[in-house]
Chain A
Amino acid sequence: KAGVTQTPRYLIKTRGQQVTLSCSPISGHRSVSWYQQTPGQGLQFLFEYFSETQRNKGNFPGRFSGRQFSNSRSEMNVSTLELGDSALYLCASSLFYSGVDQYFGPGTRLTVT
């Protein structure tokens, strides 16, 4: 069974631009969660999608948004990028909503200049 895939793996953007990241969960998994990982803050929860609905949300500004499609694939969008948005963005999939056994993808390394 293929693992969680994320595209692109690396991205360089300029301050003020927007970016869209993609995540394909493990086949059969219906929940996708997104996390931001930085050296200073560690893993911070962004949001969770299940059955195309956002079920849980972390403490991030509205510039961070996401969506989930009927095939459970998910996208995350960050608008008006700031330097502080530079981070590794990880998605994790699980079978069910708020499933604790989450399987992570390799992440997208976003650098904002």
Chain B
Amino acid sequence: KNEVEQSPQNLTAQEGEFITINCSYSVGISALHWLQQHPGGGIVSLFMLSSGKKKHGRLIATINIQEKHSSLHITASHPRDSAVYICAVRGPNTGNQFYFGTGTSLTVIP
């Protein structure tokens, strides 16, 4: 069983839709990261969360430590948001290294 589970695996949305990607984890963590990976492979860090909620532009990330769950929301989605979104956790129970989810492949259609 993977320590980090994401859903959905694949998501297609119309431009302008509100999008939610979910992440559940089973280990104790010190931080959860949301990452964006484009087809070329490079990974960009979107958020690092240890509690509560963060917002950056049209992106919002929340985390519930008690429930071991996080969500990434994209408001007013745009085709340029098309990418793979990966949830990753790290902490004392992971040797402070990342455990990654398998990613959510998002396609936003104009």
Do A and B belong to a common assembly?
A: no
